[in-house]
Structure 1
Amino acid sequence: NILNRHREIVAERVFAPGADMESHLRSSGIPMMSLESHKPIDRFDIIGFSLLYELNHTNMLNILELAHIPFFTRQRDDSHPFVIAGGPCTCNPEPVADFFDAIVVGDGENVILEMSQAWLTWKASGNHDKKTLLRNWSHIEGVYIPSFFKPNYDENGFQTLVPEFANYKTVKRAIVDNFDHALFPDAPIIPYGKPVHDRLRIELARGCTRGCRFCQAGMIYRPVRERSIETLLSISDACIASTGYEDMSLLSLSTGDYKCIFPLMDRLMDRYRSRRIAVSLPSLRVGTLTPELMQLVKKVRKTGFTIAPEAGSQRLRDVINKNIRQEEVENTIKNAFSLGWQVIKLYFMIGLPTETNDDLKAIVDLVKKLIKIKGPNGRRGKLNVSVATFIPKPHTPFQWASQISLADSKKKIQWLKSNLKMHGVQFKWQNPEVSILEGLWARGDRRLSRLLVNAYKKGCKFDGWSDKFKYQLWKEALCDSGVNIDFYTTRIRNTEEPLPWDYIDTRVTKDFLKSELKKAKKGEHTVDCRSGDCNNCGVCDFKIIGPKVFNNCEERVFKEKLASTDDIKETFYKKLKISFSKQGQAKYFGHLEMVKIFLRAINRAGIPIKYTEGFH
């Protein structure tokens, strides 16, 4: 969307193919092509990957191989396109650095345009030496050129990087300082098939300063930057008109912390309730999930809620700076059940720093207490309890911490599984084998690139999908590559040892992270600087970069409005009969897909719809 606004730039999409499609491409000798024009992707000038999850790295290799593009930058010549990447995994890009010509660190909205303009200038100059363009890209804030840094390993196996240029020693994270004016894709492409998140997604704020010490996103996306109500309403109107979606999700790291959440929800409901467009708030903190907010959400239909205590005991929540009390969790569950919600999701982590058996037992005790809470009809609700193994991430106070071993992770999960067998509780957990590999890639260095290629050649693909994940193949690849997984995962790091990602400047200082680690060991809190004093994390200069929140929003009177559940009265309607035929690729659409296609087409056309009212 951002790129295609410019006449001289064309951006098209490519996705990793499923196994059957991949087999067809290979057997037929067909190269990987773009979705829009079916142009082989090796004929594009730049190929960009979004690195969203560590266990999707093998898919990147598969796409390159299907496009007949060598994996490593050193194997590619001037006939090959530039291969670049962005996304959250780039805050430690070292494990995949050898595969990319350039990597974007931070907010990419402006950077990708600057890189594209630099390419156009380079192309027009007639100087087609790749290194010239890479040098020009290196001057753009947020752009990392891996080939300009050479890894060096000491006798302990620690990696440091030796820069090629004296004026290019660090890479500073790119930040969109005025998020309210940032471009938003208001005409997203609507897939005919059902995707995982089949709804309109609007980012209402970026950044979080709650300061949870395990949370990488809370550190690398600072400071908090909100969009105004007027901007969000304009975006939602444009997106609904262009997509016809019947569900809207308001996204941020902590949606309930948005300063004007009540007026925003109120105005969204006024706008869309008659059209049966539901609004969900997927990332709500316990203290922000109030009865008034729940009332607003349920006006169209009840969407899901996930509550993340993270730890069962107050002691451990203090260690990780998760400043919520058990009473708040209980009251939130009680409010949700009393307002008609029947299922609530709970999220916990195991293996957090300083965790003991008492902390594990506290998870069970908390769930036992919560499942006893009853709704207004005297019935108990249901709890979906999800547990994942804590993974220390770069640029967090716990980046020096140990990850628990695979054996310990399995043992703890088995204990919870046995002790959470109770009526109304469904227990889910992340595969510990997945967690240990996530930890490996999260804090790895360039020596892992050979491991990735070995794993891919053994058949590892779609490792983020549980039915495709094959840990045995990864074990073989680890052995063949000579990688000691404990060196990267279970080892406690000294705060003075060099880290592979030290040259990445997220703007959060290492001194701040060290001070937070000390406070964690003492169980001391750090307040949210959104509403408290500055914590001197290092991100803000308070001239250009700083927190931007909207405090002057008008609050409406909610109680009278919330009490009203009058339906929209319609005095006249008529039935329309639609005749259609399915041609071309549309012949593959199933019945449910056709229903969605027509419903959204009607919504896009602005035709008012009469809905059935049910039997009760």
Structure 2
Amino acid sequence: MARKDRLKNRKELSRTRVSYASSERVAGESGVVIKDWGGRLPLAVAYPNSYYVGMSNLGLHTLYRLINNYPQYLAERFFWEGGAAKGRPTLSVESRRPFTDYVAVLFTLSYELDFLNIPSMLADCGMPLYARERDETFPLVIGGGACIMSNPAPAADFFDVFCIGEAEAILPELLPVLAETAGEPKGLVLERLAKIPGLYVPSVPPEKPVERVFPAELTQGAGTAVFSKATELGEMYLMEVERGCGHQCRFCLVAGVFCPLRYHPLELLLKQAEEGMLERKRIGLVGPVVSDHPQATELISRLRGMGVGLSISSLRIKPLPEKMLGELALSGVSSLAMAPEAGSERLRRIIRKGITEDDIIRAAALVAEKGFRQLKFYFMLGLPGETDEDIEEMIKLAEKAQQVMSAAGRGVRLSLNIAPFVPKPSTPFQWLGMEDAVLVKRRLDIIRLRLEGQGIEVRAESPEMSQIQAVLSRGDVSLSKLLAAAGGDSLACWKRAAKLLEVDSPSLAKTRFDLADKLPWHMLENPKQRQRLEAEYKAATKEI
């Protein structure tokens, strides 16, 4: 398509204003920012999943808030609701404009499976899928988030720029360059962006690995920016308490892409809570391990004193301060979540979890003693070195926890959330493949059969969808063809595309890398981090 035709097409799309649920959606929100477009740089903030899912993602809220805090920029939100073919075109929530009206589209990606919706979102707005086919008449497509910081390769053909780091550190450098270069030849813009720390531009290969950038301290707060009840966690104000993790479990991505561990200051959190209470009477405390905050007990106590209800994302099994549990119980929290991850002592050593069976049972007993109504345990299946004996240990552990809680006479319910293990980049297990999905399903069926008859609820993620996640997690740039052909995020779409392109998805998921291999995410590998990961990998494999 000639440049003048693209500009004409862009103007026609710009004039298209479909009022799909727009007035009702914005009317049901508070905190939404509506800015006059005159004299401001327009930026699209996109979440490649539904409004219901995306509006409970703090990454989206943080990006939206940080950009709109600048008077010279405006940010508007996009979600994927199925597209024009389903009567729900991809237009901004705020002004019902398509991507093509904006200078840049900033995608935030927390989950690999959301990669599947990116081609559909671009196509629905009349944009070529591949970055090489878009010139300066189209907005730049920029990606960030946990998935991008670990491995951007599978989606590299669709994106112009990747943000390797956290928004608070990247935006102050990125936004002025976008403003200064708007309308300039795309090649020149990308060359300039490639010089900014933390930005990876696939068309301008870096001379050395791209270093992740992040704020040394958390001083701006991170919480719900726009309130809506039409989302999963819409009844509460979400507030990040800490970022990163210091426990270094060998399977966990958080320690790899969000380290070092940092805490939001207590007084800032309390100030945020006061503002959040103007909109919601319940506050959700968010973080990988909220209980690790050095002032967690004081925070919970003071929030209770403010008369606010609480919800908490997850607690570390050890240490588990009894006083903090008491404060949570007094605050009206009824359900808690903890993550043993594996049923046997042997597997917990392999994954470097750092807790024993006694720790887990003690935690369950404390939960019952303090009067909570439900305890949720997170486990993984298909961990490195797992055997049927380890599954038996998981079943016995769950039964023992149930018995201890029942003995307290408080009627506490135990439930298990089980996810197939997916090896992640930036972890010591990045060289390993995923366990066979059929075997994972067989072991899951055994757990269900043994436990559900005892009143222990078992919920699990699909082994086949987890297999797709494993392919995308450690895949290379060749997967862009598969993503483009899938045309949706369902298992059926993926299988159809894989068959068409003759891609053996199960084999890709099980691929093991050698330590000498050049990994698909090599452009991000920090030599010191690589050395540490190799040492941990070797230590783990000695025990398998």
Matches within 5 A, 1:363-378: 363-374=394-405, 378=409
What residue in structure 1 maps to residue 538 of structure 2? 518
Q: TM-score, normalised by structure 1?
A: 0.74
- Aligned CA RMSD, in angstroms, stands at 2.0
Q: Which moved more, 1:195-204 or 1:382-391?
A: 195-204
What residue in structure 1 maps to residue 270 of structure 2? 233
Matches within 5 A, 1:476-487: 476-487=496-507
Report which of the two structures shows the higher radius of gyration computed on alpha carbons: 1
Letter in 1 for 2:166: D
CA contact (8 A) 1:173 1:505 kept: no
Letter in 2 for 1:455: A
What residue in structure 2 maps to residue 6 of structure 1? 70
Q: Which moved more, 1:253-262 or 1:412-421?
A: 412-421
Structure 1 segments (4+ residues) deviating >6 Å: none
Letter in 2 for 1:511: Q
What residue in structure 2 maps to residue 171 of structure 1? 210
CA contact (8 A) 1:171 1:503 kept: yes
CA contact (8 A) 1:371 1:424 kept: no
What residue in structure 2 maps to residue 561 of structure 1? none
- Percent pairwise identity: 29
What residue in structure 2 maps to residue 67 of structure 1? 125
Q: In structure 2, which of residues 154, 172, 179 is the aligned counterpart of residue 95 of structure 1?
A: 154
Matches within 5 A, 1:551-562: none
Question: In structure 2, what is the Cα distance between the partners aligned to 1:115 and 1:279?
Answer: 36
Q: Which residues of structure 1 form unaligned runs of 5+?
A: 26-30, 150-162, 464-468, 525-616
CA contact (8 A) 1:371 1:380 kept: no
What residue in structure 2 maps to residue 537 of structure 1? none
Q: In structure 2, which of residues 324, 341, 344 is the aligned counterpart of residue 310 of structure 1?
A: 341
Q: In structure 1, which of residues 224, 249, 263 is the aligned counterpart of residue 284 of structure 2?
A: 249
What CA deviation, in whole Å up to 9, does each residue of 1:458-511 have, x standing for no partner?
Answer: xx2xx3xxxxx3x23322211222323245321222111110001114576111
Shift of 1:209: 1.4
Q: Equivalent residue of 1:392, what SS? A: coil
Letter in 1 for 2:286: L
What CA deviation, in whole Å up to 9, does each residue of 1:117-166 have, x standing for no partner?
Answer: 0112224xxx71111111111111111101123xxxxxxxxxxxxx5xxx
Q: Which moved more, 1:365-374 or 1:90-99?
A: 365-374
Q: Equivalent residue of 2:67, what SS? A: coil
CA contact (8 A) 2:209 2:526 kept: no
Letter in 1 for 2:516: E
Q: Equivalent residue of 2:417, what SS? A: strand
Shift of 1:187: 6.9
CA contact (8 A) 1:206 1:225 kept: yes
Q: Equivalent residue of 1:287, what SS? A: coil
Q: Evaluate the alpha carbon distance shift between residue 38 and residue 484 of structure 1 in structure 2; reply closer, same or farther with a 3 A threshold.
A: same
Q: In structure 2, which of residues 171, 178, 191 is the aligned counterpart of residue 119 of structure 1?
A: 178
Q: Equivalent residue of 2:115, what SS? A: helix
Matches within 5 A, 1:18-33: 18=82, 22-25=85-88, 32-33=90-91
What CA deviation, in whole Å up to 9, does each residue of 1:223-245 have, x standing for no partner?
Answer: 1111221121122223323xx21
What CA deviation, in whole Å up to 9, does each residue of 1:61-112 have, x standing for no partner?
Answer: 2221121111101111221111111111102000000001101012122312
Shift of 1:200: 1.2
Shift of 1:288: 3.4
What CA deviation, in whole Å up to 9, does each residue of 1:227-274 have, x standing for no partner?
Answer: 221121122223323xx211112222111111111222222222x22x
What residue in structure 1 maps to residue 164 of structure 2? 105
Q: Evaluate the alpha carbon distance shift between residue 267 and residue 507 of structure 1 in structure 2; reply closer, same or farther with a 3 A threshold.
A: farther
CA contact (8 A) 2:381 2:418 kept: yes
Q: Which residues of structure 2 form unaligned runs of 5+?
A: 1-64
Question: In structure 2, what is the Cα distance between the partners aligned to 1:58 and 1:303?
Answer: 36
Letter in 1 for 2:518: P
Q: Evaluate the alpha carbon distance shift between residue 185 and residue 374 of structure 1 in structure 2; reply closer, same or farther with a 3 A threshold.
A: closer
Q: Equivalent residue of 2:165, what SS? A: coil
- The number of aligned residues is 479
Q: Which moved more, 1:377-386 or 1:211-220?
A: 377-386
CA contact (8 A) 1:173 1:507 kept: no
CA contact (8 A) 2:194 2:200 kept: yes
Shift of 1:433: 0.7
Question: In structure 2, what is the Cα distance between the partners aligned to 1:121 and 1:335?
Answer: 58
Q: Evaluate the alpha carbon distance shift between residue 508 and residue 228 of structure 1 in structure 2; reply closer, same or farther with a 3 A threshold.
A: farther
Shift of 1:33: 2.2
CA contact (8 A) 2:310 2:333 kept: no
Higher RCO, Cα 8 Å, sep 6+? 1
Q: In structure 2, which of residues 272, 291, 300 is the aligned counterpart of residue 265 of structure 1?
A: 300
Q: Which moved more, 1:90-99 or 1:55-64?
A: 55-64
What residue in structure 2 maps to residue 57 of structure 1? 115
Structure 1 position 38 matched with structure 2 position 96: yes
